[in-house]
Amino acid sequence: MAPGNALRQSNKWLFLHAPQLLLDFQLTLQAPAQQQQPQALVCQQRQCLLQLNSAAQQAGLHPGQSLAVARSLCAELEVRLYQELQEQQLLRQLAHAFYQDIAQIALFPPQGLLFEVRSLQRLYGSLAQLQQRLQQRLQHWQLTASLASGFSPLAAQLLAQAGVNIVTGEAELVTAQLGQLPLSKTTLAPEVQKRLTGVGIQHVAALLALPASSLSQRFGKPMSHYLAALRGQVQAPQHYYRPPPYFYQRVDLLSETSDWPRLVFVLKRMLKNLEDFLCARQLCTRELVIDAHHRNKECTRLHIRFAHDSWQQADMLSLCQLHMERQPLQTPALELSLKVTRLRPLRAEPQDMLTTEHGRWTPAELLSRLQARLGETAVYRLGLTSEQRPDRAQQSVRASQKVSTVTVKSRVRPLWLLTEPEPVAINEFTRQWGPERIDSGWWDNHHLQRDYYIGLDAHARQAWLFRDQRGWFLHGWFG
Amino acid sequence: MVSTIAAQPIQELLAKGLVWQGQQQLEDSAQRYLSTGYPELDKTLGGGWLAGSVNELQLAQNYSGELALLLPLLREVTGTVWLNPPQEPYAPGWHHQQLDITQQYVIRTETERDALWALQQSLQAGCMPVVLAWFASLSATAVRLIQQCAQQHQVTVFVFTSEQSQTEARAYTNRLLLERSAKGFFVNVLKRRYGWPLPPFPCAVDRHLPKRRLAKATAQVVHGPW
């Protein structure tokens, strides 16, 4: 069977393979000088190298090498454990970034993404334009990755994983490239590969040239399924990526630190990602949760609330800075995570646009800044309740709360209220007005029965006094 | 040169604008005044509180009527910051005085440094036309900086302090000493623009407060215990 015959179809798929996803990302968080140091991620179980930066590669190291050999070749090699979960998380983020350009993305953990591109041809005009777009994104992420087209998901995957960069609409070109792949680059089980080599099949081309029925007779059903998938004759259902309804990012700081400038550096990048996330969905937030993860301790949680809708990196960063200046980290942190679960639609508020001139803040922005540095309880607005009891007739309204409007009967009340009534000697006051009896709260445990008076003190100031069974108290001041 | 000027009649110099007259109030159209709500005070301050100025209110005692003095102004503006007031501003009381209580923002700080920072932020925000701030004392530098910032952002600031015994110069636009005695509420102008300090004069702040009994009647009130 001529391969072209079965494969006469356009390249519908594009596969992105980033072999150093985790390491590349870690490098972007480092200062340039540190990036030049040879670094590697190692597998804990097999004690071998998995991902290497360019400095390590120049030192003659390559993936798969055992750690002992690597150490003897390159003494200054900086080694970290490979974290599979982190890479998965990262892949999801990457998918999210590409979600801006491509609607149908399937995750191929740990390092691959499959894009369905045929439906995008009309949008981008040509594959070349789409490719350009994707390359820009890769550059932004500073990722080394290979990008390969394919008429089937598997074909594209095999090419990309083999490190072939080929973006084309021509199925023939893909077939040619695919044919050159040795069997070791396929995802066939090792024992099947061995048997195939045993019968003299070295390359994919030879495999594809054989009739499917005889192969399946000899190698069983799985083999024919594999080939059908490779040719694109069966379409395995893909689970396309759907962006999560919240934002979460966790970043390894690479070394323990409680150093503020370094944390800011990392936080800045995370907030930039958050901004992209929010912008793409036209959302904003009023709440960030930043966790600093320590080595042997519960993580330190920083809950940052804004009084206004926020989505810009600079805005959020300045508020986070104020927060962190107020509560510096006591213990050095290993990792930093940022979580935003409460998202709200971004609305232009016409009222604000009209009233705020250029360079002026809204009251909510001011409150956000103030409470970021001074603490949440340090800033509040006045509010009324419908309570009769003087202490409860007012409430402080937190910056992020809405003021509930209650209609309250207006009574003669002082402008100042003492938080705790102060016992006084009544003969120092001159009674001017009263009494007003307040008898309320018998239904809960704070029954209150008081007679209120207005009296003048020695300085002729008007005081709000009351008498109850315990005696005379000063409760407020007029003026 | 000096002799030629001296030889000219004074009227001629006045006409040329070479002599500045202290008693004549400079009409500066760029400056905006906010009425204090008390005609007698408006007159002495040259039209009211200057928008974008810092005013010092020295208090012989707290709660003697200083808020009643500012009440007419506070009713007019939207957005007042209360920085470290000595007690809680009591919402029902302000509601009774027809103040928009949703526009009152209270800030509490632990240190003076934070207080100055919060004050600066409130001024820079530009969305709060009036800031009331309580300080034990403020250095000349701090006052000058606040004055510049307030002027730039057109925010009117009132700094409440206790009576200052030292008369060291400060960059306040107005410095008033507020006193209450049995005779009433008195304003003592220690410093003002375009004018000399004035002896204490009574200010009718009591019309915003619960009615007082006449002094004579007060004297007859039997002192407690009731």
Q: What is the DSSP string of A326-356?
A: HS--SS-EEEEEEEE--EEE----HHHHHHP
Residue B217, pLDDT score = 43
Same-domain status, A290 and A196: no
> 3-state DSSP call for residue B27?
coil
A478 vs B212: CB contact, 8 Å cut-off?
A: no
Residue A369: which of B79, B121, B210 has the nearest Cβ? B121
**CB-based burial, A103-126: b 16+ in 10 Å, e otherwise:** ebbbbbebbbbbbbbeebeeebee
Same-domain status, A472 and A345: no
CB distance from A237 to chain B under 8 Å? no
> 3-state DSSP call for residue A368?
helix
On the question of pLDDT at B196 being above 50, the answer is yes
Instruction: At A120, list the tokens.
Output: 């995008």
Q: In this structure, are residues A89 and A138 in contact, taking their beta carbons and an 8 Å threshold?
A: no
Q: Name, in order, each residue with C-beta under 8 angstroms of A244's C-beta and a sequence gap of 6 or more.
A: A92
Q: Tell me the average pLDDT across A438-446.
A: 83
Same-domain status, A311 and A364: yes
Q: At A423, is the pLDDT very low, low, confident or very high (cuts 50, 70, 90)?
A: very high
Q: Name, in order, each residue with C-beta under 8 angstroms of A170's C-beta and a sequence gap of 6 or more.
A: A11
Q: What is the mean pLDDT of chain A?
A: 85
Same-domain status, A290 and A430: no
> 3-state DSSP call for residue B15?
helix
Same-domain status, A15 and A134: yes
- At A273-308, the pLDDT tens digits run 899 888 888 888 888 999 888 888 888 888 888 878
Residue B8, pLDDT score = 67
Same-domain status, A197 and A80: yes
Same-domain status, A131 and A192: yes
Residue A5, pLDDT score = 43
Question: In 3D, which of A412, A419, A421, A411 has the Cα closest to residue A466?
Answer: A421
Is residue A257 in some structural domain? Answer: yes
Is residue A387 in some structural domain? Answer: no
Highest mean pLDDT among A28-32, A35-39, A262-266, B212-216: A35-39
DSSP H stretches of helix in chain B: 2-7, 10-16, 39-44, 66-76, 91-96, 112-125, 140-153, 215-220
Residue B109: which of A378, A396, A459 has the nearest Cβ? A378
Residue A306, pLDDT score = 81
Chain B residues closer than 8 Å to A349 by CB: none
Task: From A337, A356, A372, give the residue that closes a domain.
Answer: A372
Residue B157, pLDDT score = 95
Instruction: At A247, list the tokens.
Output: 């934002």
Return the higher-pLDDT residue of A305 and B10. A305
Same-domain status, A204 and A262: no
In this structure, the dihedral spanned by the alpha carbons of residues B186, B190, B193 and B198, taken in order and rounded to 10 degrees, is: 60
**Minimal-distance CA residue of chain B relative to A381:** B105
> Comparing A1-15, A18-32, A182-196, which segment has the lowest mean pLDDT?
A1-15
Q: What is the mean pLDDT of chain B?
A: 84
- At B146-177, the pLDDT tens digits run 999 999 889 999 999 998 877 788 889 999 99
Q: At A390, is the pLDDT very low, low, confident or very high (cuts 50, 70, 90)?
A: confident
Query: Peptide bond preceding B225: is omega within 30 degrees of 0, i.e. cis?
Result: yes
Residue A7, pLDDT score = 42
CB distance from A366 to chain B under 8 Å? yes
**Minimal-distance CA residue of chain A relative to B222:** A430
Residue B66, pLDDT score = 92
Question: In 3D, which of A428, A426, A470, A438 has the Cα closest to residue B92?
Answer: A438
Q: In this structure, are residues A19 and A51 in contact, taking their beta carbons and an 8 Å threshold?
A: yes
Is residue A255 in some structural domain? Answer: yes
Closest-CA distance of chain A to residue B90, Å: 5
Structural domains in chain B, CATH included, are 33-207 (3.40.50.300)
Same-domain status, A204 and A259: no
Is residue A55 in some structural domain? Answer: no
On the question of pLDDT at B190 being above 70, the answer is yes
Q: Give the containing element (helix H, strand E) for A100.
A: none
On the question of pLDDT at A102 being above 70, the answer is yes
**Minimal-distance CA residue of chain B relative to A362:** B127
Instruction: At A216, list the tokens.
Output: 């399946």
Task: From A339, A372, A405, give the residue that closes a domain.
Answer: A372
On the question of pLDDT at B27 being above 60, the answer is no
Q: Round to whole Å and give the CA distance between B124 and B136.
A: 23
Go through chain A and tell me how many residues it has.
479
Q: Name, in order, each residue with C-beta under 8 angstroms of B120's C-beta and a sequence gap of 6 or more.
A: B145, B146, B149
Interface predicted TM-score (ipTM) over 0.90:
no
Same-domain status, A187 and A325: no
For position A129, which CATH number holds?
A: 1.10.150.20
Residue B107, pLDDT score = 94
In degrees and rounded to multiples of 5, residue A217 shows phi and psi of -60, -40
> 3-state DSSP call for residue A73?
helix
Q: Give the containing element (helix H, strand E) for A322.
A: helix A313-326
> Comparing A28-42, A397-411, B155-169, which segment has the lowest mean pLDDT?
A397-411
B125 vs A416: CB contact, 8 Å cut-off?
A: no
Is residue A48 in some structural domain? Answer: no
Is residue A57 in some structural domain? Answer: no
Is residue A145 in some structural domain? Answer: yes
Question: How many structural domains compose chain A?
Answer: 3
Q: Provide the percentage of residues in chain A whose pLDDT is more than 70.
A: 94
On the question of pLDDT at B72 being above 90, the answer is yes
On the question of pLDDT at A394 being above 70, the answer is yes
Residue A335, pLDDT score = 86
Q: Round to whole Å and give the CA distance between A60 and A74.
A: 8
Q: Name, in order, each residue with C-beta under 8 angstroms of B202's C-beta and a sequence gap of 6 or more.
A: B183, B184, B185, B186, B187
Q: Give the containing element (helix H, strand E) for A468.
A: strand A462-468
CB distance from B66 to chain A under 8 Å? yes
Same-domain status, A189 and A338: no
Q: Round to whole Å and give the CA distance between A15 and A152.
A: 10
B126 vs A432: CB contact, 8 Å cut-off?
A: no
- At A142-180, the pLDDT tens digits run 888 999 999 889 999 999 999 989 888 888 888 889 889
Task: From A179, A206, A231, give the residue that closes a domain.
Answer: A231
> 3-state DSSP call for residue B146?
helix
Q: Which domain holds residue A427?
A: 416-477
Is residue A445 in some structural domain? Answer: yes
Same-domain status, A159 and A16: yes
